[in-house]
Amino acid sequence: MKAEYRNVMDNNEHSLRVSFFQDNEFPASWHFHPQYELTYIVSSSGMRYVGDSIHNFGKGDFVLVGTNLPHSWKTVGAQTSKVEAVIIQWNEDLLGNDWIQKPEFYTIKKMLELSARGIKFPVKTAVKMEERLMDLVDLPPFEKLMRFVELLNELSSKKDFTLLSSSSFKTNITTEDSDRISIIQAYVKNNVQSKIQLSEVAGLVGLTEVSFCRYFKKVHNKTFVTFLNEFRIALACQLLIEKDHTVSEIGYQCGFNSISLFHRLFIRFIKLTPLEYRNSYKSI
């Protein structure tokens, strides 16, 4: 796999890195690295891409990404506060060669195997762990490592998690694939309110419409239209939570010219009506 390769840890570093990220937005494009990554969103909202999945994210988003799994978090629209996140990255040899094969780490091993598809933990789990995650940032190396292994063990006992990417997602992405996907994602994000023409997107990456459709389905295991609808529905979810606009206004803001189509697709993807979705958050 050669797409946007980023070895996020130098060979001379410790095998575990815990950092508190703060900026106006997430700078990383769609990328992968040989390290595992656990990300906890303290503040911010936007779109999360993991493999072939796309979902909105907000405070409390807590995701484990496996080795070499492409991913990125992208802010959408005006942000009222800085992006803040705890990001934990570690090598496979965290505790030495073959440590994960020891029977004491069996549940952690199974969780890391599942992380090849990306794992999203419930917000309630994240909130309970927030203080410990924040504390990890400033702990001395030995104590940081020990507490992190304890945290991994606790996470591995959880059953109420969600796998993000499909099992058939293509992982042998080339550099050219990565460049094209980044271009497509940026174009959709910047033009979501407009009518997006397939011919225009195909032209951006130097393909005919037929070749683009075949290529996109091969890489993402879904059609471009499905991807576009997923993006628009994920954005609608975010706006329904954060804005007081009417459902119809949000549908138009997300690029749906037909509100009935917006309702049908929202129910198909979310299993709730837009109003039911909004009300479910008001009751939390």
Q: Is the pTM of this model over 0.75?
A: no
> CA 284 to CA 280: how far, in whole Å?
7
In the DSSP assignment, the letter for residue 94 is: B
CA angle 246, 267, 200 (to 5 degrees): 80
Q: Which residue has the higher pLDDT, 33 or 7?
A: 33
Domains of the chain: 16-163 (2.60.120.280), 175-282 (1.10.10.60)
Q: Is the pLDDT of residue 178 over 80?
A: no
- Looking at residue 182, what is its pLDDT? 80
Q: How confident is the model at residue 53 (pLDDT cuts 50, 70, 90)?
A: confident
pLDDT at 81: 73
